[in-house]
Amino acid sequence: MYNVAIVGSTGNVGRKFLEILEERNFPIKNIYLFASKRSAGSYLKFKGQEYLVEETCEDTIKNKKIDIALFSAGGDTSLKFAPIFSSYGAVVIDNSSAWRMNKDVPLVVPEVNPEDLKNHNGIIANPNCSTIQAMVPLKALLDNYGIKRIVYSTYQAVSGAGMQGIKDLEDGLKGLEPKKFPYQIAGNCLPHIDVFLENGYTKEEMKMIEETRKILHSNDLKITATTVRVPVLNSHSESINVELNSPFELEDIFKLFEKTEGLTVYDNLNELKYPTALNVSGKDDVYVGRIRRDFSLDNGLNLWVVADNIRKGAALNAVQIAEVLIKNEWL
């Protein structure tokens, strides 16, 4: 049994951590909830009991003998507090982008590269939500055919932008001004997630590119990405165009995906079966459909990949990382 802390417990992902830990009957001795000063003193429910939310600071951390700290409180909080939790003996699993590209920090999707967890130094990074869901089918393709190039186009839900992202969609439907997004999201699509960089890409797009290379251990993979915020409450959808190194039969791709852990094939055009954000919300697996050949190039394949961005894209993936650490005694 373990002492588990949740940092950012009052947020969208933080609350989902609680739900998933309860659902999976995670072996918890004590649970400790942290957030900012703003919500310190409030209470959250876990397994039918109320738990106090405390301010995140060294004083509230130090005497708790925390084994595992699940973080989802933004990059600045992670940069500051992950090393502090780690210095008091906790293994931090961080949902922000702060540590992901640090070479001493494993970046892990448990179905894809669990062995990278073995040599952690007390901080482990949970990949970006859009990256996580893409990795599950792409790893299977990489291992069986090799990958030459990937083109990502995403359709990302507002829940990925936290509580205020959801509120902006609700407010926009009432004609109120947005606070989180630069323009109204209701009835709109914004090709702008996270900040713009000098190369003209957004940080979200570069995260997908760089994190994919790190997780798949393929530094020279050719990848491009366009990430778009859409007026969907929850679950990210992605069009993934992939050029494989070797020829394939479509039916073999279906067979491969059907036996891939963490992936559900939902693809039957006669029955109008393809994954959608509404179908997939609340599910643990990544869903793939619209599996078809890209006729415009040799060995080209198109996929439509949908996952619950708060579950598999965030909280669930982090809890699965903790489960792998426990199972292998890598804590």
Residue 262 CB, shortest distance to ligand A2P, in Å, is 25
Residue 38, interface with ligand A2P (CB under 6 A)? Answer: yes
- Each as own residue / partner, the long-range contacts of residues 270-278 (CB below 8 Å, 24 or more positions apart, any chain) are 274/304, 275/237, 275/304, 275/305, 275/306, 276/237, 276/306, 277/155, 277/157, 277/232, 277/233, 277/234, 277/235, 277/236, 277/237, 277/306, 278/235
Among 4, 11, 212, 262, binds ligand A2P (CB under 6 A): 11
Residue 36, interface with ligand A2P (CB under 6 A)? Answer: yes
Residue 19 CB, shortest distance to ligand A2P, in Å, is 14
Q: Output the six-digit token pair for 236.
A: 């990210």
- Is 149 labelled as part of a ligand binding site? no
Q: How many residues bind ligand A2P (CB under 6 A)?
A: 16
- Is 39 labelled as part of a ligand binding site? yes
Residue 210 CB, shortest distance to ligand A2P, in Å, is 22
Residue 302, interface with ligand A2P (CB under 6 A)? Answer: no
Query: Which 8-state DSSP code applies to residue 211?
Result: H
Indicate the angle between helix axes 316-327 and 12-23, nearest 10 degrees: 50
Residue 184, interface with ligand A2P (CB under 6 A)? Answer: no
Residue 8, interface with ligand A2P (CB under 6 A)? Answer: yes
Among 39, 144, 218, 239, binds ligand A2P (CB under 6 A): 39
Residue 35, interface with ligand A2P (CB under 6 A)? Answer: yes
57 is catalytic: no
- Is 100 labelled as part of a ligand binding site? yes
Q: 71 with 84: CB under 8 angstroms?
A: no
217 is catalytic: no
- Is 12 labelled as part of a ligand binding site? yes
Phi, psi of 135, rounded to the nearest 5 degrees: -65, -35
Q: Which stretch binds ligand A2P (CB under 6 A): 36-44, 119-127, 128-136, 143-151?
A: 36-44
Identify the CA nearest to 242 among candidates 133, 150, 305, 134.
150
Binding mask 40-69 for ligand A2P (x = CB under 6 A): ----------------x-------------
Q: Which residues of 251-285 are buried (b: 16+ CB within 10 A; e: fewer)?
A: eebeebbeebebbbbbbeeeeeebbebeebbebbb
Find the binding residues for ligand A2P in span 73-102 (CB under 6 A). Answer: 73-74, 77
SS3 260: coil
Residues in binding site for phosphate: 100
Annotated binding site for NADP(+): 10-13, 38-39, 159-160, 309
Write out the residues near ligand A2P by the rule CB under 6 A.
8-12, 14, 35-36, 38-39, 56, 73-74, 77, 162-163
